[in-house]
Amino acid sequence: MELQQDPTLLWFIAIYGILMVGIGIFMSKKVAGSEDFVLAGKSLGPFVLMGTLLATWTGSGSISGGETSMAFSYGILPSLMMMLPTLVGIIILYVVAPKIREHGKFTVAGILESKYGRTSRNIASVIIILAYVGIVSYQMKGFGFILNLTTGMTVQAGTMIGAAMIIFLAMIGGLRSVSQTDAISGFLMVGGLIITVPTIIMVAGGWSEIVANVPESHMSATGGLTTIQMIGYLMPSLFLLLGDQNMYQRLASSKGDKSAKRAQMGWLIAMIVISPSISLIAFASRSLFPDIDPGMALMATTVAMPVAIGGILLAAAASFIITTGNSYLLSAATNLTYDLYGKYVNKDASDKKLLAMTRIFIVALGVFAFVIISYFPTVLSVQMYAYTVYGAGLTPAVLAVFFWKRVNAVGGVSSMIAGVVATLTWEIVLGQPFEVNSVVVAVPVAVIVLIVATLMTTSGSQAVKATKAS
């Protein structure tokens, strides 16, 4: 089937965009200070919290990279396996959530500082900013794919429009407005995908026709990938999720532990619906449009279905992208404000000044994200890189704060440095040997360094006390 633009679908995107901007402006009037802006006044109930967790985690990484690119490039089974790290991560966060709320910090860097000292906070801030700007960048490109598909405008021009919308929604009301737009978008995603799956399978001629039109390797367990390569695609999302500042901030923004637990259970159930749906739609797209960019697989199906269903799916795709982009942008700007500006540039900054600086940093980092996306050939490549920098550099040290009382500053800081250095060495210096993602090397290195450095720098008496305490 030939892929043709359908400008009619743009109306669905326009309606969604106007609705989101209107809600953002309305909620921005309720922002009373920096805590309102960053943590929504710790007022999120289970329904809104579930929606914002869902919408923040499921973005362009899923519909342009992740499950979509895996289904198109390697087959249905590898794509379905991409759901497993998310489910495991949500279950672990369910256990950690009360401890996150106890810390009462705005950022993951703040949590690390409470255990490992100021050096860890500085390193963490840099890691978070680098990783999150990368994540924001491919959300912008995902929106560029949508506008290219509907209007025929270049992906670059569409990316610029996506950047403007992401920056505006993050800047106008912070988490106070982002959480509300996320909640609406999250439920739009679920509805749009549920409608689309049976429709696209029928349009593609049924399951047997789809299977007949894809390469034989696409029906194997790993789609031609080696076991170690498959693990390299599964691990990054798990280790990002387990230490993701966005998730920590949202859990800290809930009304209480009861609301957080209900929201996380709803999030888990929603992901069991969303992730396989994305995989099935993208796999059907491989049968219909074998020669397109893998990142456009899901969105391409919108032009093959009835306009109403295609428009709903495209609006859902836009909601994936915009909500994830503005959430990660807000989170990265929060680090700049509280962990760097507030600590070193203006220690006596007023609450009003901190709020103003957060908005300025949102714009600056948003522009930076738009610039760097041109340096990565595919959405999947930048996704794996950003996830690994974060997951290897921060997650082992963060989880140790909650689960290993014996861990010390030397172990935590050494682990963070080792994780980042291993990632950069594998990806940039060595050029990703054997086409294996760096996470396979970087995460084990970070964990081993964390344990060894802690044990080597803990005296015998300290070790006994730590063991008794744990």
CA 458 centroid distance within chain:
36
Q: What is the dihedral of CA 458, 464, 468, 470, to 10 degrees?
A: 20
Is position 406 within any domain?
no
> For 418, what's the count of Cα atoms within 13 Å in the CB-facing half-sphere?
22
Is position 152 within any domain?
yes
Residue 186 scores a pLDDT above 90: no
Token duo for residue 470? 């744990």
Token duo for residue 121? 């906070």
Least confident of 1-15, 28-42, 310-324, 388-402: 28-42
Query: pLDDT of 316-338, one tens digit each?
Result: 888 878 888 888 898 899 889 98
Burial class (CB in 10 A: 0-12, 13-18, 19+), 423: buried
Which residues make Cβ contacts (< 8 Å) with residue 464, sequence separation at least 6? none
Q: CA 12 to CA 5: how far, in whole Å?
A: 14
Coil, helix or strand at residue 254: strand
Q: 456 or 97: which carries more pLDDT confidence? A: 456
Region 458-468: mean pLDDT is: 51
Is position 456 within any domain?
no
Residue 224 structural domain: 8-379
Cβ atoms of 155 and 355 within 8 Å: the answer is no
**The total number of structural domains that make up the chain:** 1
Is position 409 within any domain?
no
Which residues make Cβ contacts (< 8 Å) with residue 431, sequence separation at least 6? none
Query: pLDDT of 102-145, one tens digit each?
Result: 776 767 888 899 999 999 999 998 888 888 888 898 889 888 88
Predicted local confidence at residue 467, as pLDDT: 42
Is position 424 within any domain?
no
Token duo for residue 393? 């550099």
Picking from 31, 284, 343, 342, the residue whose alpha carbon sits closest to that of residue 176 is: 31
Q: 104 or 63: which carries more pLDDT confidence? A: 63
Predicted local confidence at residue 196, as pLDDT: 93
In Å, how far are 133, 174, 185, 232 from 83, measured between CA atoms?
Answer: 24, 29, 20, 14
Is position 467 within any domain?
no
Query: pLDDT of 398-454, one tens digit each?
Result: 999 999 989 999 999 999 999 999 998 998 889 889 888 899 999 999 999 999 999
Q: CA 19 to CA 167: how far, in whole Å?
A: 16
- Show the CA angle centred on residue 334, arms to residues 332 and 335, nearest 5°: 70
Residue 78 scores a pLDDT above 50: yes
Q: 38 or 272: which carries more pLDDT confidence? A: 272
How many Cβ atoms sit within 10 Å of the Cβ of residue 340?
A: 17
Least confident of 76-80, 222-226, 301-305, 319-323: 319-323
Is position 302 within any domain?
yes
Is position 391 within any domain?
no
Calculate what percentage of the chain has a pLDDT beyond 90: 44
Predicted local confidence at residue 388, as pLDDT: 87
Predicted local confidence at residue 368, as pLDDT: 92
Helices 227-243 and 83-103: crossing angle in degrees, nearest 10, is 20
Predicted local confidence at residue 39, as pLDDT: 65
Query: pLDDT of 135-172, one tens digit each?
Result: 898 889 888 888 888 888 888 899 999 999 999 988 88
Q: CA 285 to CA 294: how far, in whole Å?
A: 9
Unique residue bearing structure tokens 């990054």: 236
Mean pLDDT of the chain: 87
In Å, how far are 132, 318, 415, 442 from 418, measured between CA atoms?
Answer: 19, 37, 5, 8
Cβ atoms of 297 and 72 within 8 Å: the answer is yes
Picking from 436, 429, 437, 435, the residue whose alpha carbon sits closest to that of residue 240 is: 437
- Tell me the whole-structure pTM to 2 decimals: 0.83
Residue 463 scores a pLDDT above 50: no
Q: What is the CATH number of the domain that holds 178?
A: 1.20.1730.10
Token duo for residue 27? 């909620």
Picking from 203, 134, 193, 158, the residue whose alpha carbon sits closest to that of residue 423 is: 134
Unique residue bearing structure tokens 């996506």: 162
Predicted local confidence at residue 425, as pLDDT: 93
Residue 469 scores a pLDDT above 80: no
